[in-house]
């Protein structure tokens, strides 16, 4: 499965993505340190990335978590990631988490990517509710949620641990599949 749009593509993580993923995470380490610390920590070198990718491929096939890479089609460079995670199959609920590299930020790409993944999540993964959890300082991510018609629900207290150990409040947005 691959979703193409403009000069980009979204596809499930693959074993061959390990080196590119390592390059992506390391070159954007400052950008991802606060809100993607686990993914960053697990991709700091090619060996770690190979282990991470193997685990994520297995989880994708088992339908436990879905990790998609976003690639620039000309040279196949990874420019972003989109997770569909925290799956609650009985309730039909999942959470979206996403990140994009420095040079692609602010161009509206993530809004389009989330739209594509929302459609996939509702139509292929058979989810009924999607959530986005974002820190109040991440204005760009809040705009992505709002432009994709996610509705602000509430502040979730002390739900995310920062790299310094501090737990911070996050904002919860939700989108429901139309009947």
86: tokens are: 């925290």
Q: What pLDDT is stored for residue 3 in this prediction?
A: 85
Alpha helices (H) along the chain:
18-27, 29-32, 37-41, 46-61, 109-123, 139-147
Q: If you classify domain 3-176 with CATH, what class do you get?
A: alpha beta
Helices and strands in the chain, H and E counts = 6, 8
Total-model pTM: 0.93
Q: What pLDDT is stored for residue 161 in this prediction?
A: 86
**Spatial contact of 13 and 67, defined as CB atoms under 8 Å apart:** yes
Question: Beta 93-100 vs 129-134: how paired, if at all?
Answer: parallel
Q: How many Cα atoms sit within 13 Å of 70 on the Cβ side?
A: 24
Sign of CA dihedral 46, 99, 139, 91: negative
| Residue burial 74-95, b: 16+ Cβ < 10 Å; e: rest | eeeebbbbbbbeebeeeebbbb
Q: What pLDDT is stored for residue 133 in this prediction?
A: 96
Each residue's pLDDT expressed in tens, for the chain with a length of 179 residues = 788 888 999 999 999 999 999 999 999 999 999 999 999 999 999 999 999 999 999 999 999 999 999 999 999 999 999 999 988 877 899 999 999 999 999 999 999 999 999 999 999 999 999 999 999 999 999 999 999 999 999 999 998 888 888 899 999 999 999 86
Give me the residue spans of the domains in the chain.
Answer: 3-176
Percent helix / strand / coil, the chain, rounded to 5 = 35, 35, 30
Q: What pLDDT is stored for residue 179 in this prediction?
A: 67
Q: Which residue has the tokens 């978590």?
A: 65
């Amino acid at each position: 499965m691959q979703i193409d749009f403009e000069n980009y593509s979204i596809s499930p993580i693959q074993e061959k993505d390990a080196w590119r993923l390592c390059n992506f995470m390391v070159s954007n380490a400052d950008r991802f340190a606060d809100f993607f610390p686990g993914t960053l920590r697990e991709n700091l070198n090619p060996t770690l990335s190979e282990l991470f990718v193997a685990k994520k491929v297995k989880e994708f096939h088992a339908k436990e978590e879905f990790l998609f890479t976003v690639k620039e089609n000309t040279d196949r460079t990874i420019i972003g990631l989109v997770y569909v995670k925290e799956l609650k199959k009985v309730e039909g609920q999942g959470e979206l988490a996403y990140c994009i590299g420095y040079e692609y930020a602010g161009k509206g790409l993530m809004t389009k990517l989330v739209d594509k993944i929302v459609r996939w999540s509702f139509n292929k993964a058979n989810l009924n509710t999607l959530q986005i959890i974002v820190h109040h300082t991440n204005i760009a991510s809040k705009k992505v949620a709002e432009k994709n018609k996610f509705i602000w629900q509430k502040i979730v207290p002390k739900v995310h641990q920062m790299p310094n150990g501090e737990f911070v409040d996050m904002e919860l947005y939700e989108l429901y599949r139309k009947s």
